[in-house]
Structure 1
Amino acid sequence: MQQARRKLGPGRGYEYFNQLNDSQLTDAYHYTLFPNFAVSLWVDGFHFLRARPHPTDPEQCIFDNWWYAPAPEGVTSMVFTTDGFVARDAVVEHEMFMLGEQSMGMTIDQDLAIFSAQQQGMRSRAYKGAYLSGQESRTQRLHELIDDYIEGRRPKKVGTNET
């Protein structure tokens, strides 16, 4: 597949294929930029993924999924999206729906199923807290400091008993 994309892509308007390494022609690169925002890069497009707080229910969120695809000049073939193909010049309407009402594509649907199960697990009587990696611990500490400032508490200085 990598060789075919490298050979056929430029002739189909995707000149940038020659600037990519082999794995970039077939693999997805996923980056979490902040706990609630991520980017997934594919050879034929990219996702912006964001979870926002629900305006009235703290037990829910609004999950935004944007898919952007290149539109090389002169190319008329269908554009791949997360849940199928659309005409290249199609106007894609903004949609809002509840989880399970329709598909967002196999991968996103699987991720969302995991999110729901994780949220339910956090309400289990057996749940005693998360095990965090070093980077995650730093993010937790950042939020603790933000909470301290919001509540008017002055955080302790690291390595001292001073507040």
Structure 2
Amino acid sequence: MYVYSIDTTTVASVLGLSHRSLVRWYKHLRTTGNVLKANTKAKSSRWPRDMCAFVQTYVKAHPCFYFEELRYELRKRYRDSIGVSDATICRALRFDLKLTRKVLTKRARERVFHAKGEIMLAVLILSTATLINSSSSTKHQRTEDLLYVIMVGLQDIHRHM
């Protein structure tokens, strides 16, 4: 076979290609007029849009979730309209919703961090209330004690975060 009066074996060796690849590309050029691949269809999710939206909101609301929990919620909400295996959920999270294990772990860590801060704040409020109720000193002294406890508690919260 010749391409512009030059043997395809010679062209392939000059370009550093296999002879078979060059022949395939040349046939593609002759049939389509272009060596570029045809436009491929845009990949879409295997799941319906409302199902993807549900999973997206579920993941935001429950950053520390197990696949079993998500599978249970999907089956409860969508019955058996589609198969919901762990592999399907993992594939949908990764490719359809662009949520990797790293992103999900980061969200879970942030959620735990905020929960820890809320617990520390609740402890601070309870200890302050206990101090105020147990104090038999004057009103002015109780206010000073309250401010002191709040400052110490805020320093503790800041140190633990």
TM range (shorter): under 0.3
Q: Quick check: which one's strand share is greater? A: 1
- Structure number with bigger Rg: 2
Give me the TM-score of the superposition, normalised by structure 2. 0.24
Structure having the higher helix fraction is: 2
TM-score (norm: length of structure 1): 0.24
**Higher relative contact order at CA 8 Å, sep ≥6: structure 1 or structure 2?**
2
